[in-house]
Amino acid sequence: MSNVIPFNKPYLTGKEGHYIYQAVLSGKISGDGIFTRRCHEFFEKRFGFRKCLLTTSCTDALEMAALLINIQPGDEVIMPSYTFVSTSNAFVLRGAKIVFCDSRKDHPGIDEDAIEALVTERTRAIVPVHYAGIACDMDKIMDVAARHNLYVIEDAAQGIDSYFTGRSGIRQPLGSIGHMAAFSFHETKNIMSGEGGMLVINDDRFSGRAEIIREKGTNRSQFFRGEVDKYGWVDIGSSFLPSDIIAAFLYAQLENLEDIQKRRKVIWNTYNEALMPLKEKGLLQLPVIPPFASNNAHMYYVVFKSLEQRNEVVKMLKESNIYAVFHYLSLHKSPYYTDKHDGRELPEADRYTDCLLRLPMYYELDEADILKTVAIITSVLDPQP
């Protein structure tokens, strides 16, 4: 229906079908075809990532990272509770104990100052999540990791084309700082391929084995490069690489990265300006961009005072055919993990669970629809006599 404002609407640049057709004509539509290579080259050249490997999802990229750092049963991994289940599942599948950290008061990302107190002799890794594409303070996280000899796996699912500027003054792309990083190209992301992901490897120790794990535990990639005369089963692994058809779709999106980002930032800024009066009256919390972070306009969210207030806004929006959605449920209180959690209260994660709402955000969203959404929120929070 034309009068519906969905939460998300995938944007097509116009070349997706053409590139898929080219991939099919190439005679190779399985993994690591011509468009997979083009995507890898794009990311490595534009963002300076050491090595990129497309995967079928961000979940797969995280699972590969867990395999690469040899997570064993009983190892501990620190991550925020306010995140998607894949962040945790990748390490739980290897037998890890997840040690959940609370969020910041001003932002749903991990509370960097609370991490070090959670480190024990069994801790192996820290997995920061760049929520809404806004960088965690990677200087603090990398300092803790260095002091305790820990791996850092960046969950940059939402972090494409976003940056961190630390004490060095150097502007670093998210995903380029930790030992490894995982990106998502799910249809809700800025750049998408329906489903899809990518593992970024910034530590050369993992590069060779990553190829093997991604190819079902075989040295098939080395064989096709002529580095070995035959290939076989040399390690554990699974089928993590996507079809070149997915890569062809993704490449069409990457070619239009700057245009897509420019449009999303206009939408983000329109929301922010229109909602600022409510923030100034203390009626809700808006996104905060720390001085060390950039904004890739992945999402626009608001944080209400209570669950009841959020539910009322959702109801009013839905009655006007506007679809806004909440986000994560605190993983430490999830049915699967509640009896495994150590019992610590994580009040900020629970507050975002109850009070955060994501507003419609997609390339073709126009200003009138944004202002209509804001007007309904205002009518609930600040009704005029």
**What are 327-363's pLDDT values in tens digits?**
999 999 999 999 999 999 999 999 999 999 999 999 9
Q: What is the pLDDT of residue 1?
A: 47
CA angle 156, 157, 158 (to 5 degrees): 90
DSSP labels, 180-225:
EEEEE--TTSSS--SS-EEEEE-SGGGHHHHHHHHBTTB-HHHHHT
| Contacting residues for 332 by C-beta, under 8 A, at least 6 apart | 81, 100, 338, 341, 344, 346, 349
Ramachandran angles phi, psi of 129, nearest 5°: -115, 120
* 152-184 tens-digit pLDDT: 999 999 999 999 999 999 999 999 999 999 999
Residue bearing the bigger pLDDT, 227 or 216: 216
* Distance set, CA 19 to CA 23, 245, 246, 247 (Å): 6, 8, 10, 9
Q: Average pLDDT of 53-74?
A: 98
d(CA 257, CA 13): 10
Residue 345: name the closest of 330, 356, 327, 326 by CA: 330
Determine the Cα–Cα distance for residues 369 and 7; give it in Å rounded to an integer.
12
Give the distance from CA 38 to its chain's centroid: 22
H helix or E strand, kind and range, residue 54 = strand 51-55
- Please write the tens of the pLDDT for every residue from 261-315: 999 999 999 999 999 999 999 999 999 999 999 999 999 999 999 999 999 999 9
Q: Check residue 132 and report its DSSP letter.
A: G
Q: Which of 197-201, 223-227, 245-249 has the lowest mean pLDDT?
A: 223-227
Residues facing 155 on adjacent strands = 129, 182
Q: Which domains does the chain have, with CATH numbers?
A: 16-254 (3.40.640.10), 257-381 (3.90.1150.10)
Q: Render pLDDT for 108-139 as a digit per residue (tens, 0 to 9).
A: 999 999 999 999 999 999 999 999 999 999 99
68 confidence band (pLDDT: 50, 70, 90): very high
Q: Which residues pair with 54 in a beta bridge?
A: 198
Which pLDDT value is given to residue 231?
83
pLDDT band at 230 (very low <50, low <70, confident <90, very high): confident
DSSP 8-state secondary structure symbol assigned to residue 113: G
Comparing 223 with 142, which gets the higher pLDDT? 142
Q: Could you tell me the sign of the dihedral formed by the alpha carbons of 64, 65, 70, 73, in that order?
A: negative
- Answer for the pair 368, 3: CB distance below 8 angstroms, yes or no: no
pLDDT-derived band at 367 (thresholds 50, 70, 90) equals very high
CA atoms within 13 A on the CB side of 52: 23
Statement: residue 202 has pLDDT above 80? yes
Report pLDDT for 12: 96
Model confidence at 373: pLDDT above 90? yes
Q: How far is CA 282 from CA 245, 277, 286, 303, in A?
A: 49, 9, 10, 11
Instruction: Annotate 322-371 with DSSP letters as a single string.
Output: B--B--PPPGGGSTTTTTTS-----HHHHHHHHHEEEPP--TT--HHHHH
Measured between alpha carbons, how far is 133 from 251 in angstroms, rounded to an integer?
A: 21
Cβ distance 248 to 19 under 8 Å?
A: yes
241 secondary structure, DSSP code: P
Residues above pLDDT 90, as percent of the chain = 93
C-alpha–C-alpha distance, residues 26 and 44, integer Å: 24
In this predicted model, what pLDDT tens digit does every residue of 17-49 receive, in sequence order? 999 999 999 999 999 999 999 999 999 999 999
Mean pLDDT, all residues of the chain:
96
> How many CB atoms lie under 10 A from the CB of residue 110?
31
Per-residue model confidence (pLDDT) at position 72: 97
270: number of Cβ within 10 Å: 17
Coil, strand or helix at 52: strand
Strand pairing category for 163-165 and 97-101: unpaired
pLDDT band at 2 (very low <50, low <70, confident <90, very high): low
For the segment 48-69, the average pLDDT, to the nearest whole number, is 98
**Maximum mean pLDDT: which of 88-97, 216-225, 230-239:** 88-97
Percent of the chain at pLDDT > 70 equals 99
Q: Would the pLDDT of 219 be above 90? A: no
- pLDDT tens string 94-105: 999 999 999 999
| Cα 201 from Cα 214, distance rounded (Å) | 13
